[in-house]
Amino acid sequence: MPAVSIFLDVDDLDSISKLEEYVQASALAQIFLSKHYFTSKNCLREATHCANTSKPLVLVHEMDETKGGVKLQEARDECPEDIRGFIFDGRTPIRWHRLADFQQLSIKLIAEQILRVMPMRADQQEVTFSGRDEELYF
């Protein structure tokens, strides 16, 4: 997607002590809901900082338990109560599919959410995102 720079903590974070700084510098955060996400110290730091700063979020739900997936209710229950409302209320997590055709749909839905919160959206009437077979308008 043009004008979108992706930061992936496992690849791009040069110091875990700067995690909150990286989250703060991002236009939005994507949380990949997987087993024990909210019991991971650093994932919880990320989620808490998002909640404390009202950072726009995209929730992606890993459902395949052989790949670390978790039932959505279990992820919600694992999330600390003080941030649970911010993380889950009013959000529909995007299901992460592993079959190629369905995975393309997951990626398009993630792209749609990114485009909806991008700062450049405020002064534009319409954004067109062209895919292989279709154009999406937001």
Tell me, what's the pLDDT at 119?
A: 64
Closest Cα partner for 6 from 122, 114, 130, 121? 114
Percent of the chain at pLDDT > 70 equals: 76
Residues 21, 49: Cα–Cα separation, whole Å: 9
> pLDDT tens across 75-110, in order?
999 999 999 999 999 999 999 988 888 899 999 999
Examine the pLDDT at 136 and tell me if it is beyond 50.
no
Tell me, what's the pLDDT at 39?
A: 95
Residues 30, 114: Cα–Cα separation, whole Å: 9
Tell me, what's the pLDDT at 137?
A: 44
Give 99 or 47, the one with higher predicted confidence. Answer: 47
pTM of the predicted protein model? 0.79
Tell me, what's the pLDDT at 52?
A: 96
Residues 117, 102: Cα–Cα separation, whole Å: 24
Residue 132 — very low, low, confident or very high, per pLDDT cuts 50/70/90? very low
Closest Cα partner for 62 from 22, 23, 33, 99? 33
